[in-house]
Every structure is written in C-alpha cells, then in structure tokens.
Structure 1
Amino acid sequence: MSIGNSPEDDRPSIGLALQQARVAAGLTVEEVSVSTRVRIPIVHAIETDDFSRCGGDVYARGHIRMLARAVGLDPDPLVDRYDAEHGGRPAPTPAAPLFEAERIRSDPRRPNWTAAMVAAIVAVIGFVGFTVFNGDDDGSGTAQVAEGSTPDRNTPTPEATKPADPKPVPSDSAIAAAPRDKVTVKLSATERKTWVSAKDHNGRLLFDGLLYKGESKTFQDKERVDLVLGDAGAVELFVNGKKVEDQFEPGQVERLSYTKGDPEAG
C-alpha cells in the first residue's frame, strides 16, 4: 500500500506562492516594487526563496508581509512558515533603557513666596516702628543723636525688598524632559495597527511586532535608534521631545534612523 504525501508537502514555497499570486493579480515586479518600496532585485530574490539580500530575519519578515499584502495574500501564514524554516522567531528583547513616557512624576512643592514676602514686609514695618518709637521716648519730641544732629524725619521709610521671582520649574512631561545625551523615540499608533521593528546602535533588537491602535512604544539609546515602520501613515512619531511632521502615506513602509541631534532645527 503506497503512502501519499501530506497536503503540506504539495504547498508552493514562500517565494513561489508570492510569485504566483503576483502573476494572478496581473502585477509586474516593477509595480510591486513601487507599491511596497522594496527594491526590484530583492523582490526577484524573494520570489526564488533567496532571503539573503533582505539584511536579516527582521527585514525578511517585513518584506514578506509587504509583498503578500501587495499581491492579495494573507501574510501571517507565510511569515509563520518562514519562522518555521529559519529557526523560529527570536523572543523580543526589552529595551534596556526604556524611557517610560507614560509615567508622570509628582510635582515637587514650590516655595511659598507669598508667605515669605508678607514676613519680610512685617519685619521692615516693625523695624521702622521700633526706631520711631525709641526716637520719641524722651518726651522732648526730638531724638538725641550721638553727634548732636537732628535726624531728618522726612527720610523715606525703607521699602520691603520684593523677593526675586522663583525660577520656573522644569516641565514634568516625560517627552519634554528627554535627556540631551541620549536619543529618545516614541511611537503611537493613532489610526490603526502597524508592524514595527526597532534596533539600537549596535543592531540589538529592541522590539519586533505589532503596535495596535491606541498603543505607544518608547525606545532610548545613547547614540541611535533604527526603525522600520510597516504602515508609517498610521503612526505618530516623536523624536527627542519633538513631533516629526513628515506626512507619511497610509500603507507606506519607512526605514528611519534617529540620533541625539534629530530632528534637525527648522
């Protein structure tokens, strides 16, 4: 009795599945490259199951997702198959110096300058009153001075010195307080979920996964943070406390790098 192959044995490879779907959709490699921003040589390589040109597993997964969406395939089974054939997906490494933007520090107590001012005025008035009272205490109506001179009653009374204005308390917003000796990047999914990959300057993976609508992630490194955004139009981006005003299109894939000096002034 012969044993037939399982249905999985007859499945086309990842590259062949993408190629067949592209042809069925009536798309050329050039059209897929334009819509996904994946370079033509990489599209050709992936369709022949050569993922060495992707630059690593993280980018390979991202390319597979983008190409699958462009040709009308569900990307999740293809990515799962890629993971199964390439040793599985590594567990995301938490960002070591994760900058918790959502944590708000309690306000320090400010000095009570009003009370200090009142106390100073009372002290000055008391001193002036004491001086005048002692000058009139001999009953002659003239205060005696050691040099025999009569004090000038028209001398203006010293005014209370107004305390210096308190120094402004620095903003307690975690984004506004981003340290200048590091680069801090905050992502918020404002429109819909999007795939995000983040690495530090050593290429260490900080995050690789989906950022759902309403969620935020903040990454920090002493030199550089590298990002890959699967749908840049769905993300609100803050770098070093400043909002990035670039207008990304919905579904647009962006590869971004930010340092301590970004975004540039102006």
Structure 2
Amino acid sequence: MSIGNSPEDERPFEDGRSSDGHEEEARPSVGRTLQQARIAAGLTVDDVSSATRVRIAIVHAIEADDFTPCGGDVYARGHIRTLARAVHIDPAPLLARYDDDHGGRPAPTPAAPLFEAERIRPERRGPNWTAAMVAAIVAVVGFVGFTAFKGGDSDSDAASQVTQGATPSAGKPAAPKPSNTTATPKSDPSDSAIAAAPQDKVTVQVSAVDGRSWISAKDHNGRMLFDGLLKKGESKTFQDSSKVNLILGDAGVIQLYVNGKKIEDDFQPGAVERLTYTKGDPEVG
C-alpha cells in the first residue's frame, strides 16, 4: 500500500461542501460516487488500479470528475464501467449520469455506403477454357501412362511367383485387442492438487465458488504471483518456499485450501481480506 494513499485520507468533504466551499448538487457526481464506493469497500487507488489495469493518474482524474485523460467519451464510459465493477456498484446509473453531463451517449460509427462496396468489388471474368482443356489432356495422358506402368509391374510379379511355385496365402485377420472395461475413477482436481502439496513449501489454493472476485497473490519477496479477476468456478494455486500473501476483493465467495487443509474462516460477502500463510498454516485444519 502506498504511503499517503489510504482510504481514510480520501474521505469526501463534510457538510455537503466541496473543497472551494460551494454547495454540491443533491445527487453526487460520477467521480464522487466512485470515490465514496471505493472508500466504503476499503480499497485504495493503488488497489483499484491493480485490479482494473487503469493507470493511477486516470483513476485520480475520474474521481475528480476530470475525464480528459481518458481520451474521449467511449474510453471514459469504459473506464467508468470498469471502476464501478471493481468497487462493487452498478455502473448503469453512473453511465446515464455521464451521458446527461456530456451531451448524451456517443453515436455509433455509420457503416460505409453500399455503393462504395459495389464500386470496389473486383470485376468478374469468364473462365479460361483453353487452359482448362490443356490441363485435362495432360491429366488423361498422365493417368494412362501410370496405369500402363503399374500393369506391367503386376504381370512380371505374377510370372515370378508361378516360376518359383509360390502360392499366395490369405492373410489372417488381426485379433482384436481386448478392451479394458474397467473405468478409471476421476479424482477431483482440487483434491489431487491439495494431495500433491509438498511439505517443505506453502501451497495455497483459491477457488471462486459462489461468485467472482478480484484477488492478488505475492510471494515472500513481494513478487506478484497473480493479480486479476477470478471468475465463478475458477481456481488458482500459489506456492512459495516460505510465505504467500493474499488480498481478496470479495472474500465471501472464496474457498481456501492451505497446505492441504480447508480454511473454515467465516468471510462475509463483499469483505476485503488481507491474509498471509506460511508452511506451518493452518495450525488447525
């Protein structure tokens, strides 16, 4: 976490007044709404930037209702939608508010006129019958020569077999291979991964069982192992020689296995959890 970038340092102004002392509108702006939702979720600007891949400077600008760094209305609307989902709020009202403040939703790019496509369409040409006839004649001559050559070889082979008194023998059909009717039981991927956890390392498996959640995982040196969105039904396994640090954006949808043991912590939906596990964890599994 960066120094001076905690959620507490970014609380909205009290008494409904902005920094210049003027009263704000009854309905908060797009940027103020995103900022309040981020603070309520316990996330910093760095956390949101890491989760969404939106640069920190752009996140600060949007929260200040400055959409110039976005590069246009289309990109601004995309950033608003991404940031809203990262702080667990519905983006639709924010997009509607942005459209009201900026002259409506941008019009789609018109399709090219049909006559232009017709104008650049390549001109059709008739088939080249002369080339087709030459190719057919060459193919027929080649086929006849090949057939004559193969027939001569077959006659010489048959004469050789009669001279030597050899009689052709019918080949025996290959015996069918016995099929293994015993079905091999399939093991649960999570169980096999947990059973294979080495004793000299810390192994953490994160599974999104009840929804999707942004997660971040680092090793004992602070090196990033994973930083992104884990969709419902997906799992990630992290391993380090001594320690794994986790941040769960929505811990209530996550199931954890540490060193082969299920973690039974009662995580609440929407809660942000910062966790650290070592080779000796959990003490009670």
Relative contact order, CA 8 A, sep 6+: which one is greater? 1
Give 1 or 2: higher helix fraction.
2
TM > 0.5 between the two?
Answer: no
TM value normalised by structure 2? 0.40
